Amino acid sequence: MEQFGLKTRIIMGDGLDSLTAGMKKAFVVTDSFMAQSGKVSYVTDKLNRAGVEWQVFSDIAGEPDIGMVTAGTEKITEFKPDTVICLGGGAAIDAAKAIVFIARKTGAVENHVEFIAIPTTSGTGSEVSRFAVITDKTNGIKYPLIDDSLLPDVAVLDAQLVMSAPPSVTADTGIDVFTHAVEAFVSTGRNDFSDACAEKAIKLVNHYLMAAYKNPNDAKARQGMHNASCLAGVAFSNAGLGLNHGMAHAMGAKFHIPHGRANGILLSYVMSFNAGCVDQLTPTAKRYAQISRLLRLDTSSVRQSALNMIRTARTFIKKMNMPCTIEAAGVTKEQFEAELDEMAAAALADRCTATNPRPVTVEDIKEIYRKAFMGKIP
């Protein structure tokens, strides 16, 4: 049985004021930068005008871990809000999801507490997905949480919030959007509806990513990438992801490479494996060829069309001055070899890998990692 759902109401533009009616107590989750820089006033000023009591939890720095989620759960339990508002990138939204999830499960807040997500980066699509990733720093493991109850009730997509993102962040988050859409399009869980969202996201990325990277003040490009991120989030929330994310989670946990950057490094190598470019073409090669056709890169040859798509991914990365290999990301050969076995095992066990279009083994994953370390693709 196939199904497709979109629980989250999406508001494009500055729409938070319209949501404050009836709100009494709001628990605001954000990261330390947003709090210290005063950017959280985007939310708190509106709450003040509406006479809403609020509390800010901003103990989020870097990727969300178990300690941050535990601290947030304690604070929300004490405050007992009727609304949770998250302002931030994927890390803050993932942390907020986990906090709300635990608070609801334990009865610390009512199940009907409204959850509003306001992304400040165009990358994760977390504002519309049933995924969250929490890190166990002690054991160096990233845990993907996947549950419908993690979905926010409302997402506010205001491109003004991403205008100040530096080029490196635009690059990391932009390639993350592209990876989400491509993996959703070839996932075993895909359907016509998720395909439509993934295809539109890919077209928007192709049209707007380089413009947003080169000119951060291009409002149209910023809104285009914000919309692409959300559409890709809808696509993978319904279809699932794949090996690229499983491997990126494992690699990011070991070497502390930003998630979008890790996805970008691995993408061309994972696509080459999924398409069977080295040995025998797989049905997934035809799916990549469809994307090539979408971007007008196709030829009469499925293999060449798939390769064109793979090389397009590599071109994005090079044009945005991102590392193309694990070694270029600052990992030494000694570090890489010491962690390879554990990374491969973690990637295989990752829940995202379950919907990869091509069956994979630990040895396959090790080989892909090795190619990504050296920079060897067809």
Residue 88 is inside which H or E element, if any?
A: strand 83-88
Region 9-162: CATH code: 3.40.50.1970
At 27, phi and psi to the nearest 5? -100, 115
Name the CATH superfamily, with its identifier, for domain 167-374: Dehydroquinate synthase-like - alpha domain (1.20.1090.10)
**What does the alpha-carbon distance between residue 81 and residue 260 come to, in Å, rounded to a whole number?**
33
Residues 6 or more apart in contact with residue 195 via CB below 8 angstroms:
185, 235, 239
If you write DSSP's letter for every residue of 142-164 in order, what string do you get? EEEEE-GGGS-SEEEE-GGGGTT
Tell me how far the alpha carbon of residue 41 is from its chain's centroid: 25
**What does the alpha-carbon distance between residue 274 and residue 276 come to, in Å, rounded to a whole number?**
6
pLDDT tens digits for range 299-311: 888 989 988 988 8
pLDDT tens digits for range 97-116: 999 999 998 888 887 899 99
pTM, two decimals, is 0.89
- Strands lying side by side in the sheet with 83-88: 9-12, 154-157, 114-119, 83-88, 25-30, 53-57
pLDDT tens digits for range 325-337: 999 999 999 999 9
| Region(s) of the chain under CATH 3.40.50.1970 | 9-162
pLDDT tens digits for range 226-269: 999 999 999 999 999 999 999 999 999 999 999 999 999 999 99
**What does the alpha-carbon distance between residue 71 and residue 69 come to, in Å, rounded to a whole number?**
5
Distances 303 to 276, 283, 289, 312 between C-alpha atoms, Å:
9, 11, 8, 14
Pairing type for strands 83-88 and 114-119 reads: parallel
Helix (H, G, I), strand (E, B) or coil at 56: strand
- Under 8 Å between Cβ of 227 and 204: yes
Mean pLDDT taken over the chain: 92
Q: Which residues pair with 157 in a beta bridge?
A: 12
| Region(s) of the chain under CATH 1.20.1090.10 | 167-374
**What does the alpha-carbon distance between residue 33 and residue 37 come to, in Å, rounded to a whole number?**
6
What does the pLDDT read at residue 224? 95
